[in-house]
Amino acid sequence: MPRTKKVTFNNEHAYVAIMAGGVGSRFWPASREAHPKQFLDILGTGQTLIQTTYERFKKIVPEDHIYIVTGEQYRSTIHEQLPNIQDFQIVAEPFRRNTGPCIAYMAHKLAAKDSQATFIVAPSDHLILDTDQFETVVRKGLTFAAENDVLVTLGLQPTRPHTGYGYIQYDDEQHHEGIYKVRTFTEKPSYEIAKTFIDSGDFLWNSGIFIWDVNSIIDAFRSHQPDINELFGDIKEAYNSPKEKAAIAKAYSLSKNISIDYAIMEYANNVHVIPASFGWSDLGTWTSLWELHEKDAKGNAFQGNNVMVYESENCLVSAPKDKLVILQGLDDYCIVDTGDVLMICRMEEEQKIKQINYDVRKGKGDLYL
């Protein structure tokens, strides 16, 4: 059992940090630096991904306890899409330094405001279909994290040997009401190792959604990433004051670029996981969108009202709604037309989109990014 604390969970000390600073390069050309995928209605629901995420969390914590961690350039977009957000709830990162420094920043910032704070860290662009089950699981994690010295992650049953996710092996003999002690945490293994994990049946995917109290995660940074912890811990007097912007700019300029998975989760010995099933997708790629989309009898999915298909199977077409698109003789292709960019890419090769994005920048400048 984890070390318990003399604390009873209180929702007034619960917070959410929604990470919304990425550019979604694997969703290029729809996702652009000026308007990345979290601000797009990728699913055609009438809501952008960040709006859906915000609506999900305002049922769990007080609305003014929801923080959006993002780049300064997206501040006006967030105010436009989330009109109830107050300016203090937008936490602007001066540079992209991955999730490690981002979470260290939020932990120390919240600790300066509320020493009993427990907070959820969640991406802004994930899909959750069963929101009631998600709410139940998150509330369970909040209570456990508030009352125990633990780092909690939500784990999902893997469906294939995906190399883009973290894998969690847990001890099914060490658990507390369905919350299990993690034995190993492996971030983004090779295909061969991921296949071994899947075949063993002992591993879960890491959802990228974490729950912990400020003291537990700060202790973890102190133990495993003391340099990062020092950068953000030494400026506690600046938090939630006019001095914060300058102090954070200096801290970020000195901080290394590292994910929370590599920084903390692979090393900490107090990680626990809640196995869960709530219709999750990270919506990280065009293939993940195709998997979720309604399809015709041949497995083709369309975003657009004017698509004609001949002898084609398992394709995704995303085009302006009235543009006439004719497909003939294609199998397993992603076709994305944004008006200024037309991309045609084999689904199984979509991992190359990041490299294509880089090549476009190198050869064409920022015009199409």
Give 13's Cβ-side CA count (13 Å radius): 21
Give the per-residue pLDDT at 337: 95
The fold of the 11-281 domain, in CATH, is: Spore Coat Polysaccharide Biosynthesis Protein SpsA; Chain A (3.90.550)
Distance CA 244, CA 360 (A): 36
- The residue extents of the domains of the chain are 11-281, 286-364
Q: What is the predicted pLDDT for the residue at 5?
A: 64
Per DSSP, the three-state class of 203 is strand
Given a cut of 50, the residues of the chain with pLDDT beneath it are none
Q: What would the pLDDT profile of 270-300 be if each residue is shown by its tens digit?
A: 999 999 999 988 888 898 899 889 999 999 9
pLDDT value for 9 = 72
Which has the closest alpha carbon to 43: 126, 141, 116, 149? 126
What's the chain's Rg over C-alpha atoms? 21
Q: What is the pTM of this model?
A: 0.91
pLDDT of 7: 66
The predicted-structure confidence for 67-106, as pLDDT tens digits, reads as follows: 999 999 999 999 999 999 999 999 999 999 999 999 999 9
> Dihedrals φ, ψ of 276, to 5°?
-145, 160
The pLDDT score that the predictor gives to residue 350 is 83
